[in-house]
Amino acid sequence: MGLGRKDLLTIRDLSAENIRLILDTAESMKEVASRDIKKVPALRGKTLINLFYEPSTRTRTSFEIAGKWLSADVINVAAFASAVAKGESLKDTGLTLQAMRPDIVVVRHPAAGAADLLAKQLAASVINAGDGAHEHPTQALLDLFTIREKKGRLEGLKAAIVGDIAHSRVARSNIYAMEKVGMEVRVAGPATMLPRFIDRLGVAVYTDLERAIADVDVIMMLRLQLERQQAGLFPSLREYSRLFGLTVERLKAARSDALIMHPGPINRGVEIAPEVADGPYSLILNQVENGVAVRMALLYLLVGAAQAG
């Protein structure tokens, strides 16, 4: 049983069995959130370090709460503001941390492969909380959990991921995760934001939003990443939202019970209209809530393996 590995760096490392185990465990963890005393001693005495090289409220807080509810000691290192800014290499940061013997290091970094680099160096379990445009595995897991919670199953469902696919680690992880559990995946966005060879990942490719969302069970909108944007991939926010923004009007092309998801933070009025984001089928807040439960499940499942391995 267990995940049989020290780290979680990519969704591709997990089998469908592993994913199921994480989701089932997350259900049990979710119950803890409903208690008066939101604490269980499962990770008592363990140290978790959040090593974030990019600012983040959502993910970092989610991991922090997950660790604390499991009674772990949680340390937040805002690497983008500290020694690293003085030029300390990732490798040296890793060695420094190793000397403090953490049990789990959660890392978010702008370079693809950064989590892999750290995992090779550290005896601790390393969890990839986002490395460049590569992967964000815990996001995909909580997305699957949210879908399964609402629909009761995953296999056979159809999902459409819309937005800047080329630069999106959320898209990549979700594509891999959804395919692993037997979902059908479509991607849609401006041609300039669809990477070449994306079809080799087994997805259907669209540049027309309404065609992409027709008949799907889940619509996942991606944030238009203004900060990571290379200039010149689209002419203006206005044109982007006109063509790819999910409005109530556009939604009519989809099934009436299609679930709306977004990894956040949302650009209201750009990729998603406020009425849709706040509408009855929107699972955006559920995703946030489930993020804690899924991360608790992951922390719980990884800890034993780190010592045994």
Partner 1 sequence: MRILIAGGRVIDPTSGLDEVLDLLIEDGRIVRIGRGLAAAKVQAAKRGRSEKGAKSGSSDVAVDRVMDATGLVVCPGLIDMHVHLRQPGREDKETIATGTLAAARGGFTAVCCMPNTDPVNDTRSVTEFIRDTAKREGVVQVYPVGAISKGLKGEELAEIGELFEAGCVAISDDGRPVMDAELMRRAMEYASMFDLPVIAHCEELRLSGSGVVHEGVVATELGMRGIPSVSEAAMVARDLLLAELTGARLHIAHVSAAESVRLIRDAKSRGVRVSCEASPHHFTLTEEAARGFNTRAKMNPPLRAESDRQALIEGLRDGTIDAIATDHAPHTVQEKEQEFDLAPFGVVGLETALALTLTTLVAPGLLSLNQAIARLTSEPARVLKLPKGRIVEGGDADLTIFDLNREWRVNASEFASKSRNTPFDGWQLKGQAVATLVGGKVVWEA
Partner 2 sequence: MGTDLNEKAQILDQVGIQRAVTRIAHEIVERNKGIDGLVLIGLRSRGVDLARRIARDLNIIGGVEVPVGALDATLYRDDLGKVGPQPVVRKTEIPFSINEKRVILVDDVLYTGRTIRAALDSLIDLGRPRLIQLAVLVDRGHREVPIRADYVGKNVPTSRQEQVQVLLAEEDGVDKVVVVNA
For residue 230, the partner it binds in partner 2, partner 1, none, with Cβ less than 5 to 8 A by kind, is partner 1
The site partner of 265 among partner 1, partner 2, none (C-beta below 5 to 8 Å per kind) is none
Q: Which of 38, 39, 96, 113 binds partner 1 (CB under 8 A)?
A: 113
C-beta neighbour count of 210 within 10 angstroms = 14
Residue 123 contacts partner 2 per CB under 8 A: no
Q: Scanning residues 221 to 260, which ones bind partner 1 (CB under 8 A)?
A: 230
* Binding residue for partner 2, selected from 2, 110, 113, 182, defined by CB under 8 A: 2
Tell me the window of 17-25, 63-71, 126-134, 291-299 that interacts with partner 1 (CB under 8 A). 126-134
71: left (phi over 0), alpha (psi -120 to 50) or beta: left
Taking the complex as a whole, the smallest distance from the CB of residue 84 to partner 2 amounts, in Å, to 30
205 touches partner 1 (CB under 8 A): no
Can you tell me whether residue 292 is helix, strand or coil?
A: helix
Distance CA 169, CA 140 (A): 10
How many residues in the shown chain lie near partner 1 by CB under 8 A? 24
How many residues form the binding site for partner 2 (CB under 8 A)? 32
Q: Where are the alpha helices (DSSP H) in 41-126?
A: 58-69, 90-99, 114-121
Asked if 303 interacts with partner 2 (CB under 8 A), we say yes
Distance CA 155, CA 290 (A): 20
**Residues 6 or more apart whose Cβ sits within 8 Å of residue 209:** 162, 188, 243, 244, 246, 250, 253
- Kindly state the tokens that stand for 274: 């406020």
Partner touching 292 among partner 2, partner 1, none, CB below 5 to 8 Å by kind: none
Place of tokens 């807040």: 285
- Say which entry of partner 1, partner 2, none residue 70 contacts (CB below 5 to 8 A, set by partner kind): partner 2
In three-state secondary structure terms, 159 is strand
Q: Tell me the C-alpha distance between 304 and 70, whole Å.
A: 14
Task: Respond yes or no: is residue 262 known to be catalytic.
Answer: no
Closest CA to 141 of 304, 305, 301, 303: 301
Under the binding rule (CB under 8 A), the answer on residue 48 touching partner 2 is no
136 annotated active-site = yes
CB 41 within 8 Å of CB 159: no
**Shortest Å distance, C-beta 114 to partner 1:** 5
Task: Name which of 281, 8, 3, 302 is nearest 140 in CA terms.
Answer: 8
Binding residue (CB under 8 A) for partner 2 from 4, 132, 264, 279 = 4
Show the binding pattern over residues 60-99: x = contacts partner 2 (CB under 8 A), - = does not.
----------x-----------------------------
Rounded to 5°, angle at Cα 110 from 263 and 307:
85
Answer yes or no whether residue 46 interacts with partner 2 by CB under 8 A. yes
Residues that bind partner 2 (CB under 8 A): 1-4, 21, 24-25, 27-29, 31-32, 35-37, 39-43, 46, 70, 103, 297, 300-301, 303-308
Residues that bind partner 1 (CB under 8 A): 89-91, 109-114, 116-117, 132-135, 169, 172, 195-198, 200-201, 230
| Residues belonging to the active site | 58-59, 86, 108, 136
